[in-house]
Amino acid sequence: MLTYKVQLYPNKQQQAKLVEQLDICRKLYNKLLEECKKAREKGEKLTQIKTQSFIVWLKNNSMPELKGVYSKVLQMVNYTLWANIKSLSKLKKSGRKIGHLRFKGKGWYKTINYNQSGFKIDEHKNKLIFSKIGTINCRGLDNRVRKNKIKGIILKRSQTGRWFATIQIENTPLVLPKTNKSVGIDVGVSSFIVDSDGRSVENPKNIDKQLKKIKVKQQTLARKKKGSKNWLKAKLQLAKLLAQVTNQRKDFLHKVSRFYVNIYDFVCVEDLNIIALSQKGNKNNKRSRTLHRHILDASWGQFFNYLSYKAVNADKKVVKVHPKGTTQECSRCGRIVKKNLSTRIHFCPYCNLELDRDYNASINILKRGTGCSSILVENRPLVIISASAIVSGQVFSMNQATPSLR
């Protein structure tokens, strides 16, 4: 199961309602716990099912306020209580010395748990609809939430008083046809990545443009008086811009990783944790201090993460190989051909192979990942794929099953 957290923006009325419901849940929790304690003193044993049906009785008798809370939410209060009881008795059995379950004081019951039902997602707007609460604005719903089956939503108030929804998504495995194809992917110097089938995926061009905008906004913010109306306004604008940049980058990374997992059964990449300590690190060092570089580095890590989880979900494989020497090695004869950062072409004086340097590296990565040394290496021009073509869906579309470019 995957979980996904979004911030909620309840209006004043809804906030009051949420707080009220939390407190009703707390009182119910305490009431049920009290019943359990009473029963034990009398030497009787209560069960989860018995306390469950007790809720119905409470609703119609001493606690009519329970009617204001969605019934499944109340069930989950009972569930939580019994989960606590069970984990406590487990600890006791293991010989630990522990006290009894305690009643929850005001403010100590923190979640409203909608399990299986009682919620809805507004497809087109950023809104979540809860039974007995209403339609609450939120931010950050994306396709992952919209397209998957939602198992439940847990509402929680943070210490600063903000509300969040943790959305639980069922992780349905994706059935993709096996292609029996493997690929090696090298993180590029001038492009985002280059693969062993000769594709070069360009970096999103708008990064620099947006970074400029962000810098301007940051300066604006710094000039305002902290806490003032204008400061708050500038702060919100900056947050919006950052969220926009992040979303665009994620969209790009999702589409590229989807493409590779759809087409290949076996994807080989370098182990980025080792890269930081090796020549690849030096390769990037020249500009490593710039924000641009920082974002790219983060993007590769995120790209590999997306690749990995998408692969696991589709029963495919991502292999991380040791990056040492992938750029220097000749992908045809295996000899070392030294080159510095500015050398764009791999030219091997031993076997006369001439290739783009990153293309050469990607073939070495494929060889290491598959353990196969007899890969036919040919010199061919790289197919350049622009980031905008990817984002707009011209290439690397979500449903693409076969490569459209060769």
Residue numbers at the binding site for Zn ion (CB under 5 A): 330, 332-333, 348, 350-351, 353
Nearer to Zn ion, 312 or 375 (CB): 375
Q: Least distance (Å) from Zn ion to the CB of residue 292?
A: 34
Which candidate, 103, 133, 131, 109, places its Cα nearest to that of 118?
A: 131
Nearer to Zn ion, 332 or 367 (CB): 332
Burial class (CB in 10 A: 0-12, 13-18, 19+), 90: exposed
Q: Least distance (Å) from Zn ion to the CB of residue 364?
A: 11
Nearer to Zn ion, 299 or 360 (CB): 360
In this structure, which amino acid lies at residue 110? Answer: K
Strand order across the 383-385 sheet: 317-321, 266-270, 182-187, 193-195, 199-201, 383-385
Nearer to Zn ion, 22 or 353 (CB): 353
| DSSP letters for 276-293 | TTSHHHHHHHTTTTSHHH
Q: Least distance (Å) from Zn ion to the CB of residue 210?
A: 41
Nearer to Zn ion, 341 or 351 (CB): 351
Q: Least distance (Å) from Zn ion to the CB of residue 332?
A: 5
Strand order across the 134-139 sheet: 111-115, 150-157, 163-169, 2-9, 134-139, 127-130, 119-122
Q: Least distance (Å) from Zn ion to the CB of residue 347?
A: 9
Q: Return the CA Rg of the chain.
A: 28
Q: Which two tokens stand for residue 239?
A: 């947050």
Q: Least distance (Å) from Zn ion to the CB of residue 339?
A: 13
Nearer to Zn ion, 373 or 402 (CB): 373
CA dihedral 190, 196, 199, 203 (to 10 degrees): -30
Q: Least distance (Å) from Zn ion to the CB of residue 196?
A: 16
- Residues whose CB is less than 8 angstroms from the CB of residue 274 and which lie 6 or more positions away in sequence, other chains included: 322, 323, 324
Tokens 């590769």 — which residue? 300
Q: What is the 3-state secondary structure (H, E, C) of 49-68?
A: HHHHHHHHHHHHCCCHHHHH
Nearer to Zn ion, 200 or 331 (CB): 331
